[in-house]
């Protein structure tokens, strides 16, 4: 069984700004609020989001209209995955300054992480209204349309992002994913090739192109791409599983088993490599090993996985009990 998930670069890329707005506190509080904000920003830059939030709280306590502190605190909440709190802070920024495009952009990202894609799209629309050359808004809106399976709209947005930034490697990768979903394989390969040309060190385009080659039965090309993926990111468990599948379809069983074992080492609770390995063991007459692998697949598989019943049948056919 092949892992069919496509990888897209959808990282939040929240905009971080410090001292964009004037602090409105009076007297000595101006400098104090500014200092708290600056300290919070430094913490956030180091990934210490809880400490950053504490500093932003102090800045806001001194100046309840200090826009940048709300904005930066919203970014910290987004980075922590506390999207509702982030949205509340972005709402406050918009209340105080409704013309600041980056706030709509970041709120759109928070909505997208909550899978509220229509709300995200509305925010990206607002960004584009305020700044028609805001590349990230087209890209992120394209991602939202892709999640909604509105592929033609997604392609239009990726096209615009690429028009504005011809070196936007991630837009090519994600547009390639959409073309793959539409079964427009030649266009998908062309986009993955372009992404690789722009950034030969990014494993995602190799991974997705490898998936496409596997689906087309071009297993040698798939193996090469998954191998490059692993070279660039040795911890990507799915690349080992999928290369194992390509080896398996090429009847290179020992190499396939080695890759499935590595996938299991990286994620022992992923059921799929156990199932794939079990099928090879069964095919090559290694019954006891097949029974063990099928048993582990059943242990870790989701209860509604249709392959679970098949695995039970294989165990019984091999003389095992379940």
Average confidence (pLDDT) over 17-40:
67
With a cut of 50, say whether residue 11 has pLDDT above it. Answer: no
Question: d(Cα 174, Cα 7) in Å, to the nearest integer?
Answer: 8
Res 30: pLDDT: 74
Q: Please write the tens of the pLDDT for every residue from 184-225.
A: 999 999 999 999 999 999 999 999 999 999 999 999 999 999
Spatial contact of 76 and 40, defined as CB atoms under 8 Å apart = yes
Residue 306 has a CB neighbour count (10 Å cut-off) of: 8
pTM for the model stands at: 0.87
Indicate the pLDDT class of residue 15, thresholds 50, 70 and 90. Answer: low
Report DSSP state, residue 18. Answer: S
234 Cβ partners below 8 Å, 6+ apart?
A: none
With a cut of 60, say whether residue 9 has pLDDT above it. Answer: no
The pair of three-digit structure tokens given for residue 2, joined into one six-digit string: 């092949």
Question: d(Cα 81, Cα 114) in Å, to the nearest integer?
Answer: 9
Question: d(Cα 237, Cα 271) in Å, to the nearest integer?
Answer: 12
C-alpha dihedral (102, 195, 160, 104), degrees to nearest 10: -20
Closest CA to 37 of 165, 24, 292: 24
The pair of three-digit structure tokens given for residue 107, joined into one six-digit string: 């709120």
Helix 67-79 with 101-113: angle, nearest 10 deg: 20
- For residue 162, report the phi and psi dihedrals to the nearest 5 degrees: -70, -35
Distance of CA 213 to CAs 54, 173, 175, 216, 225, Å? 50, 15, 17, 5, 9
Average confidence (pLDDT) over 245-252:
98
Distance of CA 318 to CAs 134, 238, 296, Å? 60, 28, 15
CA 285 to chain centroid, in Å, comes to: 40
Question: d(Cα 181, Cα 183) in Å, to the nearest integer?
Answer: 5
The pair of three-digit structure tokens given for residue 152, joined into one six-digit string: 């033609």
Closest CA to 114 of 87, 136, 139: 87
With a cut of 80, say whether residue 28 has pLDDT above it. Answer: no
CA 69 to chain centroid, in Å, comes to: 28
Average confidence (pLDDT) over 6-10:
48
95 Cβ partners below 8 Å, 6+ apart?
A: none
Average confidence (pLDDT) over 138-156:
98
């Amino acid at each position: 069984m092949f892992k069919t998930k496509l990888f897209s670069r959808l990282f939040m890329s929240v905009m971080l700004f410090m001292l964009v707005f004037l602090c409105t506190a009076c007297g000595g509080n101006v400098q104090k609020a500014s200092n708290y904000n600056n300290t919070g920003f430094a913490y956030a830059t180091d990934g210490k989001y809880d400490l950053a939030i504490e500093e932003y709280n102090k800045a806001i306590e001194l100046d309840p209209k200090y826009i940048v502190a709300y904005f930066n605190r919203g970014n910290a909440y987004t980075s922590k995955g506390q999207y509702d709190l982030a949205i509340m802070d972005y709402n406050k920024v918009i209340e105080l300054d409704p013309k600041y495009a980056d706030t709509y952009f970041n709120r759109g990202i928070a909505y997208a992480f909550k899978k509220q894609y229509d709300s995200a799209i509305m925010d990206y629309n607002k960004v584009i209204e305020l700044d028609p050359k805001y590349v990230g808004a087209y890209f992120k809106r394209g991602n939202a349309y892709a999640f909604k399976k509105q592929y033609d709209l997604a392609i239009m947005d990726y096209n615009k992002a690429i028009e504005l930034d011809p070196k936007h490697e991630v837009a090519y990768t994600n547009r390639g994913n959409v073309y793959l979903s539409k079964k427009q394989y030649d266009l998908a390969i062309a986009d993955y090739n372009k992404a690789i040309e722009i950034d030969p060190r990014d494993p995602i385009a190799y991974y997705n192109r490898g998936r496409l080659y596997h689906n087309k039965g071009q297993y040698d090309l798939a193996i090469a791409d998954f191998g490059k993926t692993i070279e660039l990111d040795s911890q990507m468990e799915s690349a080992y599983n999928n290369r194992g599948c390509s080896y398996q379809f090429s009847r290179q069983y020992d190499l396939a088993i080695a890759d499935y074992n590595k996938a299991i080492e990286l994620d022992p609770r992923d059921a799929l490599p156990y199932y794939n390995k079990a099928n090879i063991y069964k095919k090559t007459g290694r019954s006891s090993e097949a029974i063990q692998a099928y048993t582990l697949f059943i242990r870790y598989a989701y209860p509604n996985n249709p392959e679970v019943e098949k695995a039970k049948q294989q165990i019984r056919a091999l003389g095992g009990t379940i």
